[in-house]
Chain A
Amino acid sequence: MPIIINGREVPVPADARVSLLDFVREHLELYGTKKGCNQGACGACTVLVDGERILSCLALAVQYDGREVTTVEGLASDGALHPLQQAFIDHDGFQCGYCTPGQICSAVGMAEEVARGVPSHVTDDLGAGEIPLSQDELRERMSGNLCRCGAYNGIVDAIAEVFAGSGA
Protein backbone atom coordinates (compact mmCIF):
# COMPACT_ATOMS: atom_id res chain seq x y z
CA MET A 1 0.00 0.00 0.00
CA PRO A 2 1.27 3.48 -0.76
CA ILE A 3 1.65 6.25 1.82
CA ILE A 4 -0.59 9.27 1.31
CA ILE A 5 1.46 12.40 1.77
CA ASN A 6 -0.43 15.67 1.62
CA GLY A 7 -3.10 13.91 -0.37
CA ARG A 8 -0.69 12.36 -2.88
CA GLU A 9 -0.12 8.60 -3.01
CA VAL A 10 3.54 7.63 -3.01
CA PRO A 11 5.08 4.15 -2.83
CA VAL A 12 6.95 3.35 0.42
CA PRO A 13 10.75 3.29 0.12
CA ALA A 14 12.38 -0.06 -0.59
CA ASP A 15 14.96 0.41 2.16
CA ALA A 16 13.39 -0.14 5.59
CA ARG A 17 15.94 2.13 7.25
CA VAL A 18 14.63 5.32 5.65
CA SER A 19 12.93 7.49 8.26
CA LEU A 20 9.71 9.26 7.43
CA LEU A 21 11.70 12.49 7.82
CA ASP A 22 14.35 11.56 5.25
CA PHE A 23 11.62 10.17 3.03
CA VAL A 24 9.68 13.44 2.80
CA ARG A 25 12.79 15.60 2.57
CA GLU A 26 15.21 13.60 0.44
CA HIS A 27 12.86 11.41 -1.62
CA LEU A 28 9.87 13.73 -2.05
CA GLU A 29 11.80 17.01 -1.80
CA LEU A 30 9.36 18.42 0.72
CA TYR A 31 11.85 20.50 2.65
CA GLY A 32 9.38 22.11 5.07
CA THR A 33 9.83 19.39 7.68
CA LYS A 34 13.12 19.99 9.46
CA LYS A 35 15.83 17.77 10.93
CA GLY A 36 16.99 19.27 14.20
CA CYS A 37 18.43 16.51 16.38
CA ASN A 38 17.40 13.35 14.52
CA GLN A 39 16.94 11.67 17.91
CA GLY A 40 13.53 12.65 19.20
CA ALA A 41 14.69 15.50 21.38
CA CYS A 42 13.59 18.69 19.60
CA GLY A 43 10.27 18.30 17.74
CA ALA A 44 11.47 20.07 14.54
CA CYS A 45 10.45 17.02 12.49
CA THR A 46 6.85 16.85 13.79
CA VAL A 47 4.28 15.79 11.18
CA LEU A 48 0.67 14.64 11.41
CA VAL A 49 -0.33 11.04 10.73
CA ASP A 50 -4.08 10.59 10.41
CA GLY A 51 -4.30 13.87 12.32
CA GLU A 52 -2.00 12.79 15.20
CA ARG A 53 1.32 14.49 15.77
CA ILE A 54 4.40 12.26 15.69
CA LEU A 55 8.17 12.65 15.25
CA SER A 56 9.14 11.76 11.70
CA CYS A 57 12.81 11.31 12.65
CA LEU A 58 12.03 8.25 14.79
CA ALA A 59 9.43 6.85 12.40
CA LEU A 60 10.45 4.33 9.74
CA ALA A 61 8.59 5.26 6.56
CA VAL A 62 7.74 1.60 5.81
CA GLN A 63 5.58 1.50 8.94
CA TYR A 64 3.27 4.18 7.61
CA ASP A 65 1.85 2.69 4.43
CA GLY A 66 -1.86 3.29 4.05
CA ARG A 67 -1.67 6.22 6.48
CA GLU A 68 -2.31 9.88 5.71
CA VAL A 69 0.70 12.01 6.46
CA THR A 70 0.41 15.80 6.55
CA THR A 71 3.53 17.94 6.52
CA VAL A 72 3.58 21.70 6.87
CA GLU A 73 3.26 21.94 3.07
CA GLY A 74 -0.12 20.23 3.33
CA LEU A 75 -1.70 22.68 5.76
CA ALA A 76 -2.42 25.53 3.38
CA SER A 77 -5.43 25.01 1.14
CA ASP A 78 -5.85 26.57 -2.29
CA GLY A 79 -2.95 28.89 -1.66
CA ALA A 80 -4.50 30.30 1.53
CA LEU A 81 -2.38 29.93 4.64
CA HIS A 82 -3.71 27.83 7.51
CA PRO A 83 -4.97 30.26 10.19
CA LEU A 84 -2.12 29.16 12.45
CA GLN A 85 0.47 29.95 9.78
CA GLN A 86 -0.99 33.45 9.51
CA ALA A 87 -1.01 33.79 13.30
CA PHE A 88 2.69 32.88 13.48
CA ILE A 89 3.38 35.75 11.08
CA ASP A 90 1.12 38.16 12.97
CA HIS A 91 2.67 37.36 16.37
CA ASP A 92 6.32 37.03 15.33
CA GLY A 93 6.20 33.35 16.26
CA PHE A 94 9.68 32.75 14.85
CA GLN A 95 13.11 34.21 14.29
CA CYS A 96 15.21 31.84 12.17
CA GLY A 97 12.13 29.75 11.40
CA TYR A 98 13.84 26.38 11.72
CA CYS A 99 11.52 25.04 14.43
CA THR A 100 8.41 26.62 12.91
CA PRO A 101 7.05 23.83 10.66
CA GLY A 102 7.34 21.44 13.61
CA GLN A 103 5.72 23.93 15.96
CA ILE A 104 2.80 24.47 13.60
CA CYS A 105 2.15 20.78 12.88
CA SER A 106 2.51 20.03 16.57
CA ALA A 107 0.01 22.72 17.56
CA VAL A 108 -2.53 21.44 15.03
CA GLY A 109 -2.20 17.96 16.53
CA MET A 110 -2.35 19.38 20.04
CA ALA A 111 -5.65 21.15 19.34
CA GLU A 112 -7.12 17.82 18.31
CA GLU A 113 -5.89 16.21 21.57
CA VAL A 114 -7.40 19.00 23.65
CA ALA A 115 -10.69 18.69 21.81
CA ARG A 116 -10.65 14.95 22.58
CA GLY A 117 -10.05 15.67 26.28
CA VAL A 118 -6.57 14.08 26.50
CA PRO A 119 -5.16 15.14 29.88
CA SER A 120 -1.68 16.62 30.28
CA HIS A 121 0.92 16.77 33.02
CA VAL A 122 -0.61 20.00 34.34
CA THR A 123 -4.26 18.94 34.19
CA ASP A 124 -5.61 19.01 37.77
CA ASP A 125 -8.82 17.10 37.33
CA LEU A 126 -8.38 13.89 35.38
CA GLY A 127 -12.16 13.47 35.38
CA ALA A 128 -12.73 16.67 33.45
CA GLY A 129 -14.29 16.05 30.05
CA GLU A 130 -13.32 19.48 28.80
CA ILE A 131 -9.89 20.94 29.45
CA PRO A 132 -9.54 24.68 28.77
CA LEU A 133 -6.32 25.57 26.93
CA SER A 134 -4.79 27.79 29.60
CA GLN A 135 -1.26 29.21 29.25
CA ASP A 136 0.05 26.40 31.47
CA GLU A 137 -1.74 23.74 29.45
CA LEU A 138 -0.52 25.22 26.18
CA ARG A 139 3.10 25.47 27.28
CA GLU A 140 3.15 21.96 28.74
CA ARG A 141 1.45 20.44 25.68
CA MET A 142 3.93 22.18 23.36
CA SER A 143 6.99 21.25 25.44
CA GLY A 144 8.03 18.66 22.87
CA ASN A 145 8.93 21.47 20.47
CA LEU A 146 12.06 23.40 21.29
CA CYS A 147 12.96 26.78 19.81
CA ARG A 148 16.62 27.70 19.96
CA CYS A 149 15.82 31.30 19.12
CA GLY A 150 13.53 31.48 22.12
CA ALA A 151 10.56 32.79 20.19
CA TYR A 152 8.30 31.11 22.70
CA ASN A 153 6.17 34.11 23.63
CA GLY A 154 5.19 34.73 20.03
CA ILE A 155 4.62 31.01 19.47
CA VAL A 156 2.33 30.79 22.51
CA ASP A 157 0.42 33.92 21.45
CA ALA A 158 -0.09 32.63 17.92
CA ILE A 159 -1.35 29.24 19.10
CA ALA A 160 -3.55 30.81 21.78
CA GLU A 161 -5.14 33.14 19.26
CA VAL A 162 -6.16 30.31 16.97
CA PHE A 163 -6.94 27.52 19.41
CA ALA A 164 -7.80 29.12 22.75
CA GLY A 165 -9.65 32.25 21.69
CA SER A 166 -7.86 35.15 23.34
CA GLY A 167 -8.37 33.51 26.75
CA ALA A 168 -5.03 31.72 27.08
Chain B
Amino acid sequence: MIELAYTRATDASDAIRRAEGENAKYLGGGTNLVDLMRETVEVPSALVDVTRLWDEIQETDDGGLMIGAAARNTAVAEHPAVRAHYPMLTRAIVAGASAQIRNMATVGGNLLQRTRCTYFYDTDGSRCNKRSPGEGCDAIEGFNRSHAILGASPACVATHPSDMCVALAALDAVVHLRSASGERTVALCDLHTLPGDRPDVETVLAPGELITAVQLPPSNLAARSTYRKVRDRASYAFALVSVAAAIELNGGAIADVRLALGGVAPKPWRAWRAEEALRGGPATEASFLEAADAELADARPLAGNAFKVDLARRTLVAVLQQLTEGARR
Protein backbone atom coordinates (compact mmCIF):
# COMPACT_ATOMS: atom_id res chain seq x y z
CA MET B 1 0.00 0.00 0.00
CA ILE B 2 1.22 3.48 -0.81
CA GLU B 3 1.36 5.62 2.31
CA LEU B 4 -0.34 8.99 2.19
CA ALA B 5 0.32 11.58 4.87
CA TYR B 6 -2.03 14.51 5.33
CA THR B 7 -1.29 17.72 7.18
CA ARG B 8 -2.91 21.11 7.22
CA ALA B 9 -0.84 24.26 6.89
CA THR B 10 -1.58 27.24 9.13
CA ASP B 11 0.22 29.85 7.01
CA ALA B 12 2.34 30.13 3.88
CA SER B 13 5.72 29.46 5.48
CA ASP B 14 4.26 26.52 7.37
CA ALA B 15 2.93 25.12 4.09
CA ILE B 16 6.31 25.46 2.38
CA ARG B 17 8.08 23.77 5.26
CA ARG B 18 5.58 20.90 5.33
CA ALA B 19 5.89 20.36 1.58
CA GLU B 20 9.67 19.96 1.68
CA GLY B 21 9.40 16.18 1.78
CA GLU B 22 10.03 13.84 -1.11
CA ASN B 23 6.83 13.79 -3.05
CA ALA B 24 4.47 16.22 -1.36
CA LYS B 25 1.64 18.10 -3.07
CA TYR B 26 -0.40 21.05 -2.00
CA LEU B 27 -4.09 20.27 -1.70
CA GLY B 28 -6.74 22.86 -2.53
CA GLY B 29 -10.35 21.82 -3.02
CA GLY B 30 -9.09 18.50 -4.37
CA THR B 31 -11.37 18.58 -7.39
CA ASN B 32 -8.49 17.88 -9.77
CA LEU B 33 -5.87 16.30 -7.51
CA VAL B 34 -8.15 13.79 -5.75
CA ASP B 35 -9.53 12.71 -9.11
CA LEU B 36 -6.03 12.21 -10.55
CA MET B 37 -4.87 10.37 -7.43
CA ARG B 38 -7.78 7.99 -7.72
CA GLU B 39 -6.75 7.24 -11.30
CA THR B 40 -3.12 6.84 -10.13
CA VAL B 41 -2.01 9.55 -12.53
CA GLU B 42 -0.77 11.54 -9.52
CA VAL B 43 0.85 9.52 -6.73
CA PRO B 44 1.96 11.91 -3.98
CA SER B 45 3.14 10.50 -0.66
CA ALA B 46 2.05 13.57 1.32
CA LEU B 47 -0.66 16.18 0.99
CA VAL B 48 -0.35 19.63 2.50
CA ASP B 49 -3.78 21.19 2.81
CA VAL B 50 -3.58 24.87 1.87
CA THR B 51 -7.30 25.66 1.96
CA ARG B 52 -6.99 27.50 5.26
CA LEU B 53 -4.33 29.92 4.03
CA TRP B 54 -5.09 33.47 2.91
CA ASP B 55 -8.49 33.55 1.16
CA GLU B 56 -9.51 37.21 1.25
CA ILE B 57 -10.25 39.48 -1.68
CA GLN B 58 -8.95 42.99 -1.07
CA GLU B 59 -8.89 46.20 -3.06
CA THR B 60 -5.31 47.38 -3.56
CA ASP B 61 -4.09 50.98 -3.21
CA ASP B 62 -3.79 51.37 -6.98
CA GLY B 63 -7.46 50.42 -7.46
CA GLY B 64 -6.89 46.79 -8.42
CA LEU B 65 -7.64 43.62 -6.47
CA MET B 66 -5.59 41.10 -4.51
CA ILE B 67 -7.16 37.66 -4.32
CA GLY B 68 -5.90 35.08 -1.82
CA ALA B 69 -4.94 31.75 -3.41
CA ALA B 70 -7.28 29.89 -1.05
CA ALA B 71 -10.32 31.96 -2.12
CA ARG B 72 -12.96 29.64 -3.55
CA ASN B 73 -13.98 30.14 -7.15
CA THR B 74 -17.54 31.02 -6.07
CA ALA B 75 -16.25 33.68 -3.67
CA VAL B 76 -14.34 35.38 -6.49
CA ALA B 77 -17.27 35.20 -8.91
CA GLU B 78 -19.75 36.69 -6.46
CA HIS B 79 -17.48 39.45 -5.11
CA PRO B 80 -19.05 42.88 -5.80
CA ALA B 81 -15.78 44.45 -7.01
CA VAL B 82 -15.15 41.58 -9.43
CA ARG B 83 -18.69 41.81 -10.80
CA ALA B 84 -18.48 45.57 -11.23
CA HIS B 85 -14.89 46.07 -12.43
CA TYR B 86 -13.89 42.73 -13.98
CA PRO B 87 -17.16 41.19 -15.23
CA MET B 88 -15.33 38.85 -17.63
CA LEU B 89 -13.83 37.13 -14.60
CA THR B 90 -17.20 36.47 -12.98
CA ARG B 91 -18.57 35.27 -16.31
CA ALA B 92 -15.60 32.97 -16.90
CA ILE B 93 -15.84 31.40 -13.46
CA VAL B 94 -19.59 30.75 -13.59
CA ALA B 95 -19.16 29.21 -17.06
CA GLY B 96 -16.85 26.56 -15.57
CA ALA B 97 -17.59 23.17 -14.02
CA SER B 98 -20.66 23.07 -11.72
CA ALA B 99 -21.76 25.10 -8.70
CA GLN B 100 -20.65 22.28 -6.39
CA ILE B 101 -17.17 22.19 -7.92
CA ARG B 102 -16.87 25.99 -7.88
CA ASN B 103 -17.72 25.95 -4.17
CA MET B 104 -14.79 23.58 -3.56
CA ALA B 105 -12.20 24.82 -6.05
CA THR B 106 -9.58 27.34 -4.92
CA VAL B 107 -7.92 30.00 -7.05
CA GLY B 108 -4.49 28.36 -6.62
CA GLY B 109 -5.86 24.95 -7.59
CA ASN B 110 -7.69 26.33 -10.60
CA LEU B 111 -4.45 27.83 -11.93
CA LEU B 112 -2.53 24.59 -11.38
CA GLN B 113 -5.10 22.03 -12.47
CA ARG B 114 -3.39 19.80 -15.00
CA THR B 115 -3.41 20.49 -18.71
CA ARG B 116 -5.10 17.28 -19.73
CA CYS B 117 -7.14 15.10 -22.05
CA THR B 118 -8.91 11.76 -21.70
CA TYR B 119 -5.84 9.83 -22.88
CA PHE B 120 -3.93 11.33 -19.94
CA TYR B 121 -6.47 9.72 -17.60
CA ASP B 122 -6.44 6.36 -19.36
CA THR B 123 -3.56 4.81 -17.41
CA ASP B 124 -3.97 1.23 -18.64
CA GLY B 125 -5.20 1.81 -22.16
CA SER B 126 -3.31 4.71 -23.75
CA ARG B 127 0.13 6.11 -24.31
CA CYS B 128 0.66 9.63 -23.00
CA ASN B 129 3.88 11.68 -23.00
CA LYS B 130 2.56 13.88 -20.22
CA ARG B 131 2.00 10.91 -17.93
CA SER B 132 4.99 8.83 -19.04
CA PRO B 133 7.50 11.05 -20.87
CA GLY B 134 8.77 9.52 -24.10
CA GLU B 135 6.12 6.83 -24.42
CA GLY B 136 4.17 8.51 -27.25
CA CYS B 137 0.79 10.22 -27.60
CA ASP B 138 -2.33 8.34 -28.62
CA ALA B 139 -4.36 11.52 -29.00
CA ILE B 140 -2.51 12.82 -32.05
CA GLU B 141 -3.80 9.99 -34.23
CA GLY B 142 -6.81 9.34 -32.03
CA PHE B 143 -10.08 10.99 -31.07
CA ASN B 144 -8.85 14.57 -30.89
CA ARG B 145 -11.92 16.69 -31.32
CA SER B 146 -11.34 18.59 -28.09
CA HIS B 147 -7.59 19.04 -28.45
CA ALA B 148 -5.36 22.03 -29.17
CA ILE B 149 -4.97 23.92 -32.42
CA LEU B 150 -2.43 26.47 -31.15
CA GLY B 151 0.81 26.05 -29.21
CA ALA B 152 0.79 22.24 -29.17
CA SER B 153 3.78 20.04 -30.08
CA PRO B 154 4.35 16.63 -31.65
CA ALA B 155 4.62 15.35 -28.07
CA CYS B 156 1.33 16.65 -26.68
CA VAL B 157 -1.89 18.26 -27.90
CA ALA B 158 -3.88 18.54 -24.65
CA THR B 159 -5.59 21.80 -23.68
CA HIS B 160 -5.58 23.73 -20.43
CA PRO B 161 -9.18 23.42 -19.26
CA SER B 162 -9.56 26.47 -17.02
CA ASP B 163 -12.10 29.15 -17.88
CA MET B 164 -11.00 31.41 -15.03
CA CYS B 165 -7.41 31.48 -16.30
CA VAL B 166 -8.51 32.72 -19.73
CA ALA B 167 -10.05 35.81 -18.12
CA LEU B 168 -7.00 36.22 -15.87
CA ALA B 169 -4.73 36.11 -18.94
CA ALA B 170 -6.75 38.86 -20.62
CA LEU B 171 -6.75 40.93 -17.41
CA ASP B 172 -2.92 40.93 -17.10
CA ALA B 173 -3.18 39.16 -13.74
CA VAL B 174 -0.01 38.71 -11.70
CA VAL B 175 0.60 35.53 -9.70
CA HIS B 176 2.34 35.84 -6.32
CA LEU B 177 4.61 32.93 -5.48
CA ARG B 178 6.53 31.95 -2.40
CA SER B 179 9.16 29.33 -1.69
CA ALA B 180 11.89 28.64 0.85
CA SER B 181 14.13 31.00 -1.11
CA GLY B 182 11.74 33.94 -1.06
CA GLU B 183 8.90 35.58 -2.92
CA ARG B 184 8.47 36.44 -6.57
CA THR B 185 5.74 37.38 -9.03
CA VAL B 186 5.02 35.95 -12.47
CA ALA B 187 2.53 37.25 -15.02
CA LEU B 188 -0.34 34.79 -15.45
CA CYS B 189 0.49 34.75 -19.16
CA ASP B 190 4.00 33.47 -18.29
CA LEU B 191 2.95 30.98 -15.60
CA HIS B 192 2.08 28.09 -17.92
CA THR B 193 4.58 26.71 -20.42
CA LEU B 194 3.99 25.19 -23.85
CA PRO B 195 4.59 21.44 -24.07
CA GLY B 196 7.50 21.32 -26.54
CA ASP B 197 9.25 18.01 -25.84
CA ARG B 198 8.47 18.21 -22.09
CA PRO B 199 4.68 18.05 -21.77
CA ASP B 200 5.08 16.72 -18.22
CA VAL B 201 6.23 20.23 -17.23
CA GLU B 202 3.32 22.68 -17.33
CA THR B 203 4.38 25.75 -15.38
CA VAL B 204 7.46 27.78 -14.39
CA LEU B 205 6.93 26.91 -10.72
CA ALA B 206 9.85 25.37 -8.88
CA PRO B 207 9.19 22.23 -6.83
CA GLY B 208 7.50 23.22 -3.57
CA GLU B 209 6.71 26.75 -4.74
CA LEU B 210 3.37 27.97 -3.40
CA ILE B 211 0.87 30.31 -5.03
CA THR B 212 -0.17 32.81 -2.36
CA ALA B 213 -2.29 35.31 -4.29
CA VAL B 214 -3.42 36.55 -7.69
CA GLN B 215 -3.34 40.28 -8.30
CA LEU B 216 -5.53 42.12 -10.78
CA PRO B 217 -4.12 45.46 -11.89
CA PRO B 218 -6.59 48.33 -12.26
CA SER B 219 -8.03 48.50 -15.76
CA ASN B 220 -9.88 51.11 -17.77
CA LEU B 221 -11.29 48.52 -20.13
CA ALA B 222 -12.21 45.63 -17.90
CA ALA B 223 -15.52 47.12 -16.77
CA ARG B 224 -16.62 46.61 -20.37
CA SER B 225 -15.63 43.02 -20.81
CA THR B 226 -17.17 39.62 -21.19
CA TYR B 227 -16.49 35.93 -21.60
CA ARG B 228 -18.16 33.61 -24.05
CA LYS B 229 -17.81 29.84 -23.93
CA VAL B 230 -18.82 27.45 -26.70
CA ARG B 231 -19.31 23.84 -25.63
CA ASP B 232 -21.08 20.62 -26.58
CA ARG B 233 -23.95 21.16 -24.15
CA ALA B 234 -25.42 24.26 -22.58
CA SER B 235 -23.74 23.76 -19.22
CA TYR B 236 -21.26 21.60 -17.23
CA ALA B 237 -18.88 20.89 -20.10
CA PHE B 238 -15.36 22.00 -20.98
CA ALA B 239 -14.88 24.69 -23.60
CA LEU B 240 -14.40 23.77 -27.23
CA VAL B 241 -13.55 27.42 -27.72
CA SER B 242 -13.88 30.36 -25.38
CA VAL B 243 -13.08 34.05 -25.67
CA ALA B 244 -12.37 36.62 -22.96
CA ALA B 245 -12.50 40.16 -24.32
CA ALA B 246 -12.36 43.78 -23.15
CA ILE B 247 -12.41 46.75 -25.46
CA GLU B 248 -12.27 50.53 -25.21
CA LEU B 249 -13.45 52.69 -28.09
CA ASN B 250 -12.55 56.24 -28.95
CA GLY B 251 -15.13 57.40 -31.46
CA GLY B 252 -15.21 54.60 -34.03
CA ALA B 253 -11.65 53.55 -33.34
CA ILE B 254 -10.30 50.92 -30.98
CA ALA B 255 -8.35 52.72 -28.28
CA ASP B 256 -7.36 49.54 -26.47
CA VAL B 257 -8.28 45.86 -26.35
CA ARG B 258 -7.52 42.66 -24.39
CA LEU B 259 -8.23 39.23 -25.80
CA ALA B 260 -7.59 35.67 -24.68
CA LEU B 261 -8.75 32.28 -25.93
CA GLY B 262 -9.59 29.08 -24.06
CA GLY B 263 -10.09 25.50 -25.22
CA VAL B 264 -7.65 25.86 -28.09
CA ALA B 265 -4.19 25.64 -26.55
CA PRO B 266 -2.09 23.95 -23.85
CA LYS B 267 -2.23 27.17 -21.84
CA PRO B 268 -4.58 30.12 -21.41
CA TRP B 269 -3.93 31.77 -24.78
CA ARG B 270 -3.43 35.53 -24.76
CA ALA B 271 -4.27 36.72 -28.29
CA TRP B 272 -1.40 39.21 -28.58
CA ARG B 273 -1.45 39.23 -32.37
CA ALA B 274 -5.15 39.94 -32.63
CA GLU B 275 -4.80 42.75 -30.09
CA GLU B 276 -1.92 44.24 -32.08
CA ALA B 277 -3.95 44.09 -35.28
CA LEU B 278 -6.93 45.81 -33.65
CA ARG B 279 -5.30 48.59 -31.63
CA GLY B 280 -5.87 51.98 -33.27
CA GLY B 281 -7.95 50.49 -36.08
CA PRO B 282 -11.68 50.77 -36.81
CA ALA B 283 -14.22 48.75 -34.80
CA THR B 284 -15.70 47.01 -37.83
CA GLU B 285 -16.49 43.40 -38.64
CA ALA B 286 -13.80 43.44 -41.33
CA SER B 287 -11.10 44.47 -38.87
CA PHE B 288 -12.33 41.93 -36.30
CA LEU B 289 -12.05 39.19 -38.93
CA GLU B 290 -8.59 40.33 -39.92
CA ALA B 291 -7.49 40.26 -36.29
CA ALA B 292 -8.91 36.77 -35.76
CA ASP B 293 -7.10 35.55 -38.86
CA ALA B 294 -3.85 37.07 -37.65
CA GLU B 295 -4.19 35.16 -34.38
CA LEU B 296 -5.15 31.89 -36.03
CA ALA B 297 -2.56 32.02 -38.84
CA ASP B 298 -0.39 29.53 -36.95
CA ALA B 299 -3.25 27.16 -36.10
CA ARG B 300 -2.32 23.51 -36.75
CA PRO B 301 -5.53 21.53 -36.50
CA LEU B 302 -5.58 17.75 -36.11
CA ALA B 303 -7.84 15.35 -38.01
CA GLY B 304 -10.70 15.83 -35.55
CA ASN B 305 -10.59 19.47 -34.60
CA ALA B 306 -10.29 21.63 -37.74
CA PHE B 307 -13.72 23.02 -36.87
CA LYS B 308 -12.11 24.83 -33.94
CA VAL B 309 -10.31 27.23 -36.27
CA ASP B 310 -13.59 28.48 -37.73
CA LEU B 311 -15.30 28.37 -34.37
CA ALA B 312 -12.55 30.44 -32.74
CA ARG B 313 -12.66 32.97 -35.57
CA ARG B 314 -16.43 33.34 -35.43
CA THR B 315 -16.57 33.47 -31.64
CA LEU B 316 -13.87 36.14 -31.49
CA VAL B 317 -15.67 38.29 -34.04
CA ALA B 318 -19.06 37.79 -32.37
CA VAL B 319 -17.75 38.77 -28.94
CA LEU B 320 -16.08 41.90 -30.29
CA GLN B 321 -19.29 42.85 -32.08
CA GLN B 322 -21.30 42.29 -28.94
CA LEU B 323 -18.98 44.47 -26.85
CA THR B 324 -18.81 47.26 -29.40
CA GLU B 325 -22.57 47.24 -29.84
CA GLY B 326 -22.76 47.78 -26.10
CA ALA B 327 -24.77 44.64 -25.42
CA ARG B 328 -24.40 43.16 -21.97
CA ARG B 329 -23.01 39.76 -22.87
Which A residues are closer than 8 A to B by beta carbons?
15-17, 19, 38-40, 43, 46, 52-55, 58-60, 62-63, 106, 109-110, 113, 116-121, 123-127, 139-141, 143-145
Contacts and interface: CB of A to CB of B under 8 A. Distances in A.
A46 B103 CA distance: 12
Contacts of B49: 63
Contacts of A46: 100
A117 B38 CA distance: 35
A62 B329 contact: no
Contacts of B4: 15-17
A159 B220 CA distance: 41
B328 interface: yes
Interface of B: 4-6, 8, 27, 29-31, 34-35, 37-38, 47, 49, 51, 74, 77-78, 83-84, 87, 90-91, 94-95, 97-101, 103-104, 234-236, 328-329
A28 to B, nearest CB: 20
Given A58-B31, A60-B27, A118 B101 contact: no
Nearest to A105: B100
A118 B90 CA distance: 10
Given A58-B34, A121-B94, A126-B91, 12 more contacts: A40-B97, A54-B104, A60-B27, A118-B74, A118-B77, A119-B90, A121-B91, A123-B94, A126-B84, A140-B234, A143-B236, A144-B97
B103 A53 contact: yes
A17 to B, nearest CB: 6
Nearest to B2: A17
Contact of B100 (A15, A17, A54, A125): A54
A116 B74 CA distance: 11
Contact of A43 (B29, B31, B100, B103): B100
Contact of B98 (A59, A126, A144): A144
Contacts of A126: 83-84, 87, 90-91
Contacts of B5: 16
Contact of B99 (A39, A53, A59): A53
Nearest to A63: B49
A81 to B, nearest CB: 23
A143 B34 contact: no
Nearest to A15: B4
A119 B94 contact: yes
A83 to B, nearest CB: 21
17 contacts: A16-B4, A40-B35, A43-B100, A52-B103, A53-B103, A55-B100, A55-B104, A58-B29, A58-B31, A109-B103, A121-B94, A121-B95, A123-B94, A124-B329, A127-B83, A143-B235, A144-B236
A116 B78 contact: yes
Contacts of A19: 34
A143 B87 CA distance: 22
A39 B103 CA distance: 16
A77 to B, nearest CB: 24
Contacts of A40: 31, 35, 97, 101
